[in-house]
Amino acid sequence: MRQRVLGIGNGARRDDGVGVWVAQALAARLGDSLDVRVLGDDGFQLVDALGGIDAALLIDAVQSGAPPGTVHRFDAAREPLPPALLRCSTHLLGVAEAVELARALGQLPARVAVYGIEGADFGLGEGLSAPVAAAAAGLVEELATNLTDPPCTNTP
């Protein structure tokens, strides 16, 4: 299975860089066995990165009003992403729009898991806020385990 991890965001805008941070941490931990791409704020790059693969994991920062560090999980292959969750985007083409464009173009993978980590600080600067950093570290642990030892999905 051709699987890709896509970290989305802008590391110069504090918590907006959480997707990039998670992707880089997974790449450092799992090495060359993992196809990782770090994408900035250009959603058209995301559309391209979704093509030619069987599965994708997308990680980005979100603003929904939930407590900072909350991890939202979506199955974008089954249903559209909630636009309200991703409406406050710093991206030229937002993640929800990019995923739907990939779907319309017939290049959305069969499996697309989207992880949105609730941000606290999107101002200029580097580094993640404490709750976002803690959530990101936990997500890296979870994803690294699942990527190296996928859970059994067969049920009797």
Amino acid 32: pLDDT: 85
Per-residue pLDDT of the chain (156 residues; tens, 9 = 90+): 899 999 999 999 999 999 999 999 999 999 888 899 999 878 899 999 999 999 999 999 999 999 999 999 999 999 998 876 655 555 568 888 899 999 999 999 999 999 999 999 999 999 999 999 999 999 999 999 998 866 555 555
**Structural tokens at position 84:** 């309200």
Longest dimension (CA), the chain: 51
- Asked if 129 contacts 15 with a C-beta cutoff of 8 angstroms, the reply is yes
CB 61, CB 15: distance < 8 Å = yes
Q: What are φ and ψ of residue 129, in 5° steps?
A: -65, 160
Q: Is the pTM of the predicted complex or chain greater than 0.85? A: yes
For residue 120, the tally of other CB atoms under 10 A from its CB is 16
Q: Give me the pLDDT at residue 92, please.
A: 65
Architecture of domain 3-146: 3-Layer(aba) Sandwich (3.40)
